[in-house]
Amino acid sequence: MSISPQPGPVTVRVPATSANLGPGFDALGVALTLYDEVTATVVDGPTRVEITGEGAGELPADESHLVVRSMRTAFEALGATAPEVELRCVNRIPQARGLGSSSAAIVAGVTLAQALAGKTDQELALEIAGAIEGHPDNVAPCVLGGFTIAWLDDEHRARAARMTPVQSVQPVVFVPDVQGLTAVARAALPATVPHADAAFNAGRSALLVHALTADPALLYAATEDRLHQAYRAGGMPGTADVVRRLREAGVAAVVSGAGPTVLALSEVPSGFDLGIGWIRHNLGFDSRGAHLMS
């Protein structure tokens, strides 16, 4: 028997995320204290979307909106009939910048559908959102908060282990005024990599888990990568330059996700000159992940 969704309204808050963290390509990610909020109300129809902030006037306002599409996928997975909805989106996460905006939209949709269907299940939310996104490293911290190691199990379902980053680490992101789509950045990667580079990243990823949970003095060495950033540098020269200059200054800086945002995990020297067109956000690590607001 099909479940009938509740009428709502229901509001979800979803964090920005930074994936990869250097060596942990498609596996490691952190949730950040920068949020989108989406309110869903069941209506007679048609589905409509009101957007404030990032993406206003650019994103679709109908059923092709990513939150609506994700809600529909989730309702189907839950065995519920997808209702027509009115969405109110308050977007603060910069889009197509490497801060997991698409995962945030997907997780928002899945969480709203679960709430309207009267269910709460983080493991299932991760599974559904991971299948929609295609790689699990953003959806895991977005659902769970904190610092996550994500993987796909033998049935290709997203799974994750959650840790708490050490409090003394204060993430800083540098967001450029240009966008970069993750799909384009993924197309720049080679189909195969040298065994030595894979071994290098395996060691640094393991070290990063230790550095970010116990010994931040090791973050510089732990954020070195040979699997994705160099291959993508030609498509984002400004980002590659900022990462290079920060690292030369001793900062544990990496490309955030697929870029073009830069993430710094150790103190940035005062007076560091970013150049024109960059915005700095001093953030924290979000510990809650996606959650409903009363």
Ligand X SMILES: N[C@@H](CCOP(=O)(O)O)C(=O)O
Ligand Y SMILES: Nc1ncnc2c1ncn2[C@@H]1O[C@H](COP(=O)(O)OP(=O)(O)O)[C@@H](O)[C@H]1O
3-state secondary structure of 53: strand
* CB closer to ligand Y, 16 vs 117: 16
- Binding-site residues for ATP, please? 94-104
CB of 2 to ligand X, least distance (A): 33
* CB closer to ligand Y, 51 vs 211: 51
Cα gap 66→46, rounded to integer Å: 16
Kindly list the residues in this chain that would bind ligand X in the complex (CB under 6 A): 19-20, 25-26, 98-100, 102, 135, 137-138, 182, 185-186, 228, 257-258
Residue 133 backbone phi and psi in degrees, to 5 = -75, -40
* CA 148 to the chain's CA centroid: 11
* CB closer to ligand Y, 59 vs 163: 59
Binding partner at 36 among ligand Y, ligand X, none, C-beta below 5 to 8 Å by kind: ligand Y
Q: Give CA separation, 17 vs 29, 45, 178, 214, 256, in Å.
A: 7, 33, 18, 21, 9
CB of 271 to ligand X, least distance (A): 29
Binding partner at 26 among ligand X, ligand Y, none, C-beta below 5 to 8 Å by kind: ligand X
CB of 264 to ligand Y, least distance (A): 18
Which residues sit opposite 52 in a β-bridge? 90
Kindly list the residues in this chain that would bind ligand Y in the complex (CB under 6 A): 36, 55, 59, 65-67, 91, 95-103, 105, 181-182, 257
118: tokens are 């009267």
CB of 255 to ligand Y, least distance (A): 11
Binding partner at 65 among ligand X, ligand Y, none, C-beta below 5 to 8 Å by kind: ligand Y
Helices H, strands E: what count in the chain?
9, 11
CB of 99 to ligand X, least distance (A): 6
3-state secondary structure of 277: coil
* CB closer to ligand X, 20 vs 39: 20
282: tokens are 């001093």
Binding partner at 59 among ligand X, ligand Y, none, C-beta below 5 to 8 Å by kind: ligand Y
Binding partner at 25 among ligand X, ligand Y, none, C-beta below 5 to 8 Å by kind: ligand X
Name the DSSP class of 58. T
Cα gap 38→66, rounded to integer Å: 12
66-77 vs 101-116: helix crossing angle, rounded to 10: 40
* CB closer to ligand X, 6 vs 179: 179
* CA 96 to the chain's CA centroid: 11
